Chain A
Amino acid sequence: MSSIFKICATIDRRVWYALIFLLVGYGLLRPVGFPLIVGPEVKQAYAVIESLKPGDVVLINYDISAFGWDEIKGSALSMVPHIFSKEGVKVILFTDQDQGYIYLETTLKQIGSPMKGYDKFPWYEVQGKKYLEDYINIGFIPGFDKAIAALASDFRGVVGRTDWYGNNIEAWLDANGIKSASDINMIVTLDCAGAQGSWVNYWYLPYKTRIVNAMIGVSAPASINSYNVGMLEGIVVSVRGAAEYQYLSKYYGTALISMDAFSMLQFMLIIAMIIGNVGYYFWERKQEKVS
Chain B
Amino acid sequence: MKLFSRLTLILYLFVIFCLTTTTVFADAKSDYEFQYSRYRQNNIEYTILKKDFLANPTLDNQQKAVLAAKQTIYSRDLAKANFASYLISRCEETKVNYEPIKPILDSLSQAKAFFLSEAEKSQTVVTPSQLATFTQNYLTATVPHDRSFRTGVVACKISELVRFQVGSKNALDIIIPKLATPFSTPLQTRIDDLQAQGNKINEEINNFTNKIFSEEDVLNIDYENYFTDKSETIKKIQSLQLKWLDSLIDIDLNYAHS
Q: Do A and B come from one complex?
A: no
